[in-house]
Amino acid sequence: MSQLILGCFTALLFIVFVVFVNGKICKDPKLATPNDFYFSGLNVSGNAAPKSGVAVKLVDVNSMPGLNTLGISVSRLDFEPLSLFPLHAHPRASALITILEGSIYVGLFVPDPANFFKSRLFSKILNPGDVFVFPKGLIHFLYNIGNKKLLL
């Protein structure tokens, strides 16, 4: 009986001291393994959303636990020719893209605090080897302007 009580008490202590960050349990550093900081598979395309022409392969805290609390993720995007990744924003982090194959037109909007409809557009055509950053929270888009697949 005393072992059962001790076991329940230990479980209760564990529950009390579990720390969640970003909705994930922070792993005890003593229990971490190299696999918590490793991912394999960005050499393979992700699954395209129906009718979007864009396949996304995301590496985040769900697939690489060591990313928890770092505020970063990495992804591979494959665009069919003339595909658009529509207007969106990343409210918690900036996004950095590197063009590996193809050409893409990207743009971001910097809002005018006095009048949102007077936002300033920063846009650029990017080619292999080019890097572009989308600052945290800014609305942006990506459009494959080429006649072949784009990889970033």
121 annotated to bind ligand: no
90 annotated to bind ligand: yes
Rama region for 118: left / alpha / beta (φ>0; ψ in -120 to 50; rest): alpha
Checking DSSP bridges between strand 84-88 and strand 140-144, what pairing results, if any?
antiparallel
147 annotated to bind ligand: no
Q: Which residues pair with 131 in a beta bridge?
A: 98
Q: Please state, in angstroms and rounded to a whole number, the distance separating the CA atoms of residues 50 and 65.
A: 29
Pair 97, 132: CB distance under 8 Å: yes
Q: Which segments are annotated as binding site for Mn(2+)?
A: 88, 90, 140
| Binding region for oxalate | 90
Known binding-site positions:
88, 90, 140
